[in-house]
Amino acid sequence: MKRNLFFLILLLCNLAFSASEIRIYHEEVFDGTNIYVDNPFFCEVSVQLNLELQNMKARNTSNLYLVPSKSNRFFYYKITPNK
């Protein structure tokens, strides 16, 4: 259930940013999930992602980030299971 909610949120984010060519994607690692952002533009872009997590926690406290210009695989969030 929580995995489905997580992918629904990622899908909505991808749809919201699809017109602007900003790419938000995730990668599962051994201790959770990392969320990355690609910014192909020559200017910095602000990205905000609001998550409501159940049985999971985000290691970053801020949800508004400035993504550097021409960046690939910019680390955005780390989500881990709640223990």
What's the helix, strand, coil split of the chain in %, to 5? 25, 45, 35
pLDDT (0 to 100) of residue 12: 67
Confidence tier at 64 by pLDDT (50, 70, 90): confident
pLDDT (0 to 100) of residue 36: 92
State the pTM of this model: 0.68
**pLDDT of residue 19 exceeding 60:** no
User: Which of these, 79, 35, 36, 73, lies nearest to 55 by C-alpha position?
Assistant: 79
What is the average pLDDT score of the chain?
80
